[in-house]
Copies of this chain bind each other. A is one copy, B any other.
Amino acid sequence: MASIQDVARLAQVSTATASRALSRPDMVATTTRDRVLHAARQLGYQPNVIARSLRQGETRTIGVIVTDILNPFHAQLAKGIQDAADRHGYTAFLFNSDEDPAKERRAIETLRGHLPQGLIIVPTSGARENLAALSGVPIVELDRVTGTPAVTTVTADNAAGAAAATRHLISLGHTRIGMIVGQQDISTATQRHDAYRSALEDAGLTYDPALVLPGNHREDDGHRAATRLLTLPEGRRPTALFIGNNEMTVGAVLAARALNLSIPTDLSIVGFDDSRWAQTMTPPLTVVAQPTYDLGTQAAEQLIQQLRRPRDGPPLHIQLSTTLIVRHSTSPPRTPALTHH
């Protein structure tokens, strides 16, 4: 590959001039600049960013760690980040933690060697310790939050979303509303759970811990939890389910089908996070939609802005709003009378 030396030689200038002609065109005479540019084009010159990074101590690279690239939610976050980073001339290094703190740690270590100028992370439950290894690098926590002081966060308004979902079910007349909630050490899970609980209590309903089951964000977990909830004895069984993330919702819907419960007649369901699957399943799913792509771009924009000029004040906490989209997976509960039809 042609180096800047080759370009300099061909243009009959020093490497310094060649370098300047390419990166600070105005510092160089027009005629020489043209000579250099021409030589560069002729040789197909592409700067060696490795050498440049080493010299400048700036890699123009940001690290990105999501927990599951196979989850469309995360794929969309990643795309938002990449598109925005790209617009600003940064390259994003994408890693997967698979929701596993050990993998996350390895990703961080690998990343560290590449000297990323910043990191956008959807943290696992072990992130707080893992992140300690990266001191000095600006961090943006995306979607979830570890509670580490002084880091920027970009999240959706989980509380409002969960409250809207719960109130929607209550307004339809449901009184036994179950919830399948993510890991309790993940902020999104606790926020959604807390809001669900408050909404219930605000409406004068009692919060019943027996109707709340945990899962680890995966489809299986949703399936398992839903099966348990839906096989509760009649009269104790929830007539509606609010499910804390997209993957578990899939599992729950399949569990309901396996039990021959028809949605929404026998069971109302509200999921968190919209997706094509939610839109096209039968019946189309009522969900709390998140501005997923925007979450990604916002995270990147915030990080890059911070790289350009480090903030001194308190860290920014950006929260994007969620919206309840009512489709056809929710309806009033079947009344006992009708059951005996």
Chain A interface residues (CB < 8 Å from chain B): 1, 44, 46-51, 53-54, 59, 69-70, 72, 75-76, 78-79, 82, 91, 93-96, 109-110, 112-115, 133, 136, 250, 253-254, 276-277, 280-282
Say what secondary structure dominates the interface of chain A. helix
Cα separation A69 to B110 with both chains bound (whole Å): 22
Q: State whether A110 and B91 are in contact (beta carbons under 8 Å apart), knowing that A70-B76, A115-B50, A276-B277 are contacts in the complex.
A: yes
Q: State whether A70 and B79 are in contact (beta carbons under 8 Å apart), knowing that A93-B93, A94-B94, A280-B281 are contacts in the complex.
A: yes
Q: A70-B76, A253-B280, A281-B281 are known contacts; what are 4 more A-B pairs with Cβ within 8 Å?
A: A72-B72, A82-B95, A94-B94, A281-B282
Contacts of A76 in B (CB 8 A): 70
Contacts of A1 in B (CB 8 A): 112, 115, 136
Q: Are B281 and A44 in contact (CB-based, < 8 A)?
A: no
Number of identical monomers bound together in the oligomeric complex: 2
Q: Are B46 and A112 in contact (CB-based, < 8 A)?
A: yes
Cα separation A114 to B93 with both chains bound (whole Å): 12
Q: State whether A70 and B72 are in contact (beta carbons under 8 Å apart), knowing that A113-B48, A277-B280 are contacts in the complex.
A: yes
Contacts of A112 in B (CB 8 A): 1, 46
Contact of A69 among B54, B79, B115 (CB under 8 A): B79
Give the 8 A-B residue pairs with the shortest CB-CB distance, closest first: A49-B113, A282-B282, A46-B112, A94-B94, A50-B54, A50-B53, A75-B75, A46-B113
Q: Are B96 and A114 in contact (CB-based, < 8 A)?
A: no
Q: Are B79 and A75 in contact (CB-based, < 8 A)?
A: no
